[in-house]
Chains A and B, each alone.
Chain A
Amino acid sequence: MSNFDPNDFVAITRGHLYEDFEVGQQFDHHWGRTLSAGDNSLFSTATCHWSPMYLNVAYAQTHGHPDLVINPLLVLCTVVGLSVEDLSEAGGPFLGLDRCRFHRPVYPGDTLSARSVVVAKRESNSRPGMGTVTWHTEGRNQRDEVVVDCQRTNLVAMRTRTR
């Protein structure tokens, strides 16, 4: 075994930069995520969202649901989370989120997947070397029904910092 020198290793990088995005480009994001009742309890309690619709099975069933409802904010966070490696991990800060709709409830055991389309991009006037990119992201359940969609905008670093 040779001595360890970090310079001997190739750094693996992930994510995309401003030049990598083209309007209309689609990403089918990795992994998917089955949401459990445990995920929901952790998320709902840690965010101080102690609603019985998310944490009391009998209460949720009284309202016509077969089980606890998964907190829609967990659904949104997970769908956006699944998109991060492709869209924003390498890029820069999260600026905003618009037009988010929760289309149908998600229940424990449902599996989410995420996909996105590039909606717009432009270079930043105030931040040389950066641009803003807007994506439309949607999350679907295991029956391919859309459960949530939204538009997200981030500041994204350019590969070539020419200015």
Chain B
Amino acid sequence: MTRASQLTGSSTYFEDFQVGQRVRHPRSATLGEVEGAMLAKLVMNTAQAHWNEHFLKGSPLGSGRVVFGLITASVTIGLTSEDTAENALAELGLDNLRFRAPVHHGDSITAYSEVVSTEPAERDDAGIVTFHHWGVNQDQVVVFEGDRSIMVKRRSHWAGR
């Protein structure tokens, strides 16, 4: 059987994260019918501003469908995932999530991350990394930011397994 370590990258173990590292992730994503309206409905979000094109007409939030903030956050985190959590054992938590500006269907999100802290975990084969993430639209406006902590495998214990 394929070893687990062959399925994920070798540069995202706990030892690879240094406080202060700042990266822009390589791919951006456009939020449209699937990411906006479909996922809002999938997760039972009944607020029609997310899936009724005509509801917000003339509103200060802007016309058209506005993307559920936690979907913007989820796409931002998803765009970071290969570089942050490919060798994670678990997502631990989120904090200080702020939705700075509305996101509409057709907007494209680029993700940026900074390593805020690295610390030992209760188990000795992993460590805890906390990131600050930013989601930025095609006009360079920060639409989302927040902190995220994950438990990441240590290379010393997991490389080659």
Contact of B44 among A43, A47, A50, A82 (CB under 8 A): A82
* Interface set, chain A 83-117, CB cutoff 8 A to B: 84-85, 88-89, 93-102, 105
Chain B at the A interface: mostly helix, strand, loop or mixed? mixed
Given A48-B29, A51-B86, A77-B39, are A95 and B94 neighbors across the interface (CB < 8 Å)? no
Contact of A43 among B29, B42, B61, B94 (CB under 8 A): B42
> Is A31 part of the contact surface with B, judged by Cβ < 8 Å?
yes
Q: In the complex, are the beta carbons of A42 and B70 less than 8 A apart? A: no
Q: How far is the CA of A144 from the CA of B47 in the complex (A)?
A: 27
Contacts of B86 in A (CB 8 A): 51
Contacts of A33 in B (CB 8 A): 44
Q: In the complex, are the beta carbons of A95 and B98 less than 8 A apart? A: yes
> Is A78 part of the contact surface with B, judged by Cβ < 8 Å?
yes
Contacts of A129 in B (CB 8 A): none
Given A63-B4, A97-B94, A98-B97, are A47 and B74 neighbors across the interface (CB < 8 Å)? yes
Q: In the complex, are the beta carbons of A76 and B70 less than 8 A apart? A: yes
Size of the A side of the interface (Cβ < 8 Å), in residues, is 45
Give the nearest-CB partner of A33 in chain B: B44
Q: In the complex, are the beta carbons of A102 and B91 less than 8 A apart? A: yes
Q: In the complex, are the beta carbons of A46 and B39 less than 8 A apart? A: yes
Report A38-56 CB contacts with B as 1/0, cut-off 8 Å: 0100111011111111001
> Is B82 part of the contact surface with A, judged by Cβ < 8 Å?
yes
Q: In the complex, are the beta carbons of B44 and A51 less than 8 A apart? A: no
Given A46-B35, A48-B81, A96-B98, are A74 and B47 neighbors across the interface (CB < 8 Å)? no
> Is B92 part of the contact surface with A, judged by Cβ < 8 Å?
yes
Q: In the complex, are the beta carbons of A81 and B93 less than 8 A apart? A: no
> Is B128 part of the contact surface with A, judged by Cβ < 8 Å?
no
For the complex formed, measure the closest distance between the CB of A110 and the CB atoms of chain B, giving whole angstroms. 15
Given A59-B7, A96-B97, A96-B99, are A46 and B45 neighbors across the interface (CB < 8 Å)? no
Q: In the complex, are the beta carbons of B99 and A100 less than 8 A apart? A: no
Q: In the complex, are the beta carbons of B47 and A46 less than 8 A apart? A: no
Contacts of A43 in B (CB 8 A): 39, 42-43, 74
User: Can you report 29 A-B residue pairs in the complex whose CB atoms are below 8 A from each other?
Assistant: A39-B42, A42-B38, A42-B39, A44-B78, A46-B35, A48-B75, A49-B74, A49-B81, A50-B81, A52-B4, A56-B7, A58-B1, A62-B4, A73-B73, A74-B74, A76-B70, A77-B43, A80-B45, A84-B45, A84-B46, A93-B102, A96-B97, A97-B94, A98-B95, A98-B96, A100-B94, A100-B95, A100-B97, A102-B93
